[in-house]
Chain A
């Protein structure tokens, strides 16, 4: 998850400009030339694989039409629903933590008057983002191992004496959410901070003159204005979160398979493809994931007013 939030509002601007623009001389050949490399890449690594995944999901190993058989097979798999539960729990914890804490931190950091302090805080939040992927998981393996951990005392206080006790299945959704939050929250805080800077100072001043306290200002003015950015954050995080893979994969390896290697849906798809040589089943899982992610995104788009004009 990198920083991808800077574009919703400008999109509206771009569309507005389009309405009144001067006529552009048409030169199709040149336009096609300029977009050609991108179109070739989009076809090869976007459209064709997507269509191929669709084809695989609805056919059997011999290429015959299979209807919904692949979907019935994977949803009937005893590993499927536990994986769904794991991913869903993880997503709920992660998204709630993101929405609540990122918004809170952005508002607080924005309210800090000392410029050096505000800048230092943003930097501290933002820097862990550099440790995405396997590196952040590895770092957290250390942090969660009471023998080596910098917060070993805290872990023991919570009743965890060994690494194996920390990573019992019930704790995993929280652990994965913590890792994802640690690495991903900072860039969203920086983005929200930027968005808060765009709220005009007069509006805030007027509210203060009318007797609003900082909490009311945050709740009544800043939060509604951040709504779009919050939905955008949720969509991007959802899309990434449903694909949970590295975290359980590495943890499975590090725990001698106490964490199963089919913990998440994406891992299950990988097992289907490369352990069972069942690419049709794997495609069915990928497709289900995609549909769920897009459907949930649609909720945020409509409820979050993402494509409304200001």
Chain B
């Protein structure tokens, strides 16, 4: 979608008038912009400094490429390359769960929106209710449940619970019930499509936007999930990077003086770890901002 779609003509906007109110609002907004931007910008600069320069130099002066590469090697040498393992784990968990989420929620959303079957309404209400339950609330019982079947510590113990993503089903349901004309499906049936073909040949090809939207939300949530892997995965080999960060933090003398030793992590290295840990999500965010805003407003302009 084009940006013209999301932004109405400027001439129709109310302009802020009045000198003093404008000044006050400008100051408030400027302060908030600094609040949002400073930590991000500082973080990027911090990764290019040595531990000493981080403290003595201007926070917003760039460091050197040499220091960046020192920090980089310290980070990836930590515990014989643990960070690489954690990133790979995060990717496995996030993408594995994302795949199952799509497999489960796209057909389910379609069935709820465009077919008729007993318990359809019940299932819809249930989806809405479960959506409101914070996902950490169920982590402890899920732990006990997976403990019974002996899955604790296995990648499946985080992939499977994360694949249950009622919000994705709800989004798909909304999309199919508002964006696909029923006449189109009826026409396909008259042309001799069987029910299953109506789904695969007509609905699925039109579902690209919703697949992207569900994939975005699912991936970001999976990647950032902390509590579930924290509880399910006892061994460092299985940590996703978000949980791995706690190991790095525990080895940083600046925050944990008892940790000084061969494996200790300097502050700039920890800063670099923070950047590396969010890099995939950051890329997804950068790529998807435009389509997300478009998708978000499209729902409202349809009626």
Contacts and interface: CB of A to CB of B under 8 A. Distances in A.
Contact of A27 (B195, B249, B292): B195
Contacts of A279: 140, 144
B142 to A, nearest CB: 5
Contacts of A126: 285, 289
Interface string A14-42: 10011001101111101111110111011
A140 B42 CA distance: 11
A269 interface: yes
- Which of B127, B220, B267, B300 lies at the interface centre, i.e. has the most chain A CB atoms within 10 A of its CB? B300
Contacts of B107: 33-35, 37-38
B274 interface: yes
Contacts of B257: 256
Interface string A219-262: 00000000000000001000110110110011001111000000
B55 interface: yes
Interface string B110-124: 111111111010010
Contacts of B127: 42
Contacts of A250: 246, 249
Interface majority SS (helix, strand, loop, mixed), chain B: helix
A89 interface: no
Nearest to B242: A134
A5 B131 CA distance: 12
Contacts of A152: 59
A198 B177 contact: no
A143 interface: yes
Contacts of B100: 37, 41
B212 interface: no
A124 B37 contact: yes
Interface stretch (B16-24, B62-70, B71-79): B16-24
A121 B34 CA distance: 11
Interface stretch (A60-68, A69-77, A78-86, A208-216): A208-216
B98 to A, nearest CB: 13
A294 to B, nearest CB: 7
Given A24-B115, A101-B32, A4 B104 contact: no
B46 A142 contact: yes
- Of all A-B residue pairs in the complex, the 8 with the closest CB atoms, nearest first, are A201-B12, A38-B108, A49-B141, A150-B42, A34-B107, A34-B111, A31-B117, A150-B59
Interface of A: 2-7, 9-11, 13-14, 17-18, 21-22, 24-28, 30-35, 37-39, 41-42, 44-50, 52-53, 56, 101, 104-105, 108, 110-111, 113, 115, 118-119, 121-135, 138-143, 145, 147-152, 163, 182, 186, 190-191, 193-195, 197-198, 201, 204-205, 208, 213-215, 217, 235, 239-240, 242-243, 245-246, 249-250, 253-256, 266, 269-270, 273-274, 279, 282-283, 286, 289-290, 293-294, 297
Given A254-B249, A282-B140, 12 more contacts: A32-B117, A34-B107, A52-B141, A130-B281, A140-B39, A142-B39, A204-B14, A213-B17, A266-B227, A273-B140, A289-B137, A290-B134
10 contacts: A14-B173, A31-B120, A35-B107, A46-B138, A53-B138, A108-B16, A115-B7, A133-B226, A134-B277, A190-B292
